[in-house]
Amino acid sequence: MVSQRRDAAIVGIHEYPKRKAPGVTPLQIKAECAARALDDAGLKWSDVDGLYDAQDGAGMAGLGLAEYFGFKPNVIDTTAVGGSSYEFHASHAKRDIAAGKCKVALLTYGSTAHSDSRRIGSMGGGMGAGPASPLSNMTDSWGMTLIANYAMVAQRHMYQYGTTSEQLARISVATRAHAMRNPEAVQAMTDLEFVGINEITVEDVLNSRMIADPLHLLECCMVSDGGGAVVIASPEVARDCKKKPVWIIGSGEATKYSENGGDLTVSAAAQSGPRAWAEADVSADEIDIAMIYDSFTITVMIMLEDLGFCKKGEGGAFVSEQRLRWDSPLKPALNTDGGGLSSNHPGMRGLFLLLEATRQLRGESTSQRADARLAVAHGNGGMLATSHTGGTIILARD
């Protein structure tokens, strides 16, 4: 058993079950998930004294959310760095709890992206229309979209390392296999009118229509509604909660943006990963569960490399070894809830990485890895080829 510091633990979780939820608001999703996560932990609203919010609801982010929830936290953190915000929040909550600033931290997310018919990924710059920005002034004028941004990374990886579409497709195949074991993911694909709600093959992926060369339809995340909540507590609180704590033993945060001489195939994970491994005193080859942000297949491959699961440029061979399935004798199992490709992606998926990693370490996953002891949750925010963030969280079971 590893012997890292136990400063804070995930003690309560809940995932909103619907991926198509007309008639509710993001705040209502957040509130329902928060209430159920607190119940999962055996805690009350009055126990919460730390609030972490990525400004995904209405009003003045943390201030408005505190009023909506009806409590007055000692700590409000409104870090908003895209899909990795929740890994940043988990890191900050661990830090704040260790410093004695709070004892019970609440992280929530809610989105009605599907019901709102948001054109995620297809707008100029990938971030929507608006005034000129120094963050995208070199791409907007050429019609760059979010999907094209990731396709550019995939093209570069293929050019530099000989990576193939067949290799990238294996990521979609593995996550779909997990999704078909998850009733909520199956219902999501049904509600969102997927063509073919079944396990898929490499050929299925390659025969799906091209979205942005070389990325096919089945290599792109869905657009869904959804949300969830995570409760993180001090050791004193965690020991008395309903279920065994899942400890946060390492974290890392990083940013990356376009630079002269920069390598498109290297992400912020190359910075955040080593920091998290060092703090946790573990290495990638010890990890049982890898919850990696899967906006697109290339996102996963880049981050598997940058987190140290394999060397840069060897991601294609790594994923070809059939190691990503929950029942493979090889490590790690990837996105065992079905991921953003086949379970849910309401716009920012970082919170769901923490949820499924926790389920695995509790023994509660629908694609449970036998004797899972260590997990990594790595979120990506922004756009991979240009400005983005990386948040890495290492988790250990009690």
| CATH code, domain carrying 249 | 3.40.47.10
In a domain, 3, yes or no: no
Distance of CA 3 to the CA centre of its chain: 26
Report which DSSP code applies to 386.
S
In a domain, 17, yes or no: yes
Q: What is the pLDDT of residue 126?
A: 41
- On whether residue 104 sits in a domain, the answer given is yes
Nearest residue to 204 (alpha-carbon basis) of 191, 218, 193, 215? 218
On whether residue 368 sits in a domain, the answer given is: yes
Check residue 121 and give its pLDDT. 67
Which residue positions in the chain have pLDDT lower than 50?
1-3, 125-128
Residue 206 lies in a domain: no
Q: Is 320 among the domain residues?
A: yes
User: Cα separation of 302 and 282, whole Å?
Assistant: 21
Would residue 281 be called left, alpha or beta, if left means φ above 0 and alpha means ψ between -120 and 50 degrees? left
pLDDT at 122: 64
**Domain around 53:** 9-116+223-397
Which residue type occupies 63? Answer: L
Neighbours of 137 (CB within 10 A): 10
H-state helical runs in the chain: 26-41, 61-69, 85-98, 146-161, 165-179, 183-191, 202-207, 235-238, 269-280, 297-306, 315-319, 339-342, 350-362
Amino acid 139: pLDDT: 72
Under 8 Å between Cβ of 366 and 352:
no
Q: Are 395 and 248 in contact (CB under 8 A)?
A: yes
In this structure, is residue 331 part of a structural domain? yes
State residue 127's pLDDT score. Answer: 46
Structural domain count, the chain: 1
Buried-state track 32-49, b at ≥16 Cβ within 10 A, e below 16: bbbebbbebbebeeebbb
CB within 8 A of 228, min separation 6: which ones?
A: 13, 14, 15, 16, 33, 37, 108, 109, 351, 352, 355
Position 5 scores a pLDDT of 85
Going by C-alpha positions, the residue among 98, 46, 42, 45 that lies closest to residue 240 is 42
Flag whether 363 is in a domain: yes
Beta strands 50-52 and 9-15 are unpaired
Which residues contact residue 333 at a Cβ distance below 8 angstroms, ignoring those fewer than 6 apart? 288, 289, 290, 324, 325, 326, 360, 367, 369, 372
Whether residue 206 contacts residue 157, with contact meaning beta carbons closer than 8 Å, is answered with no
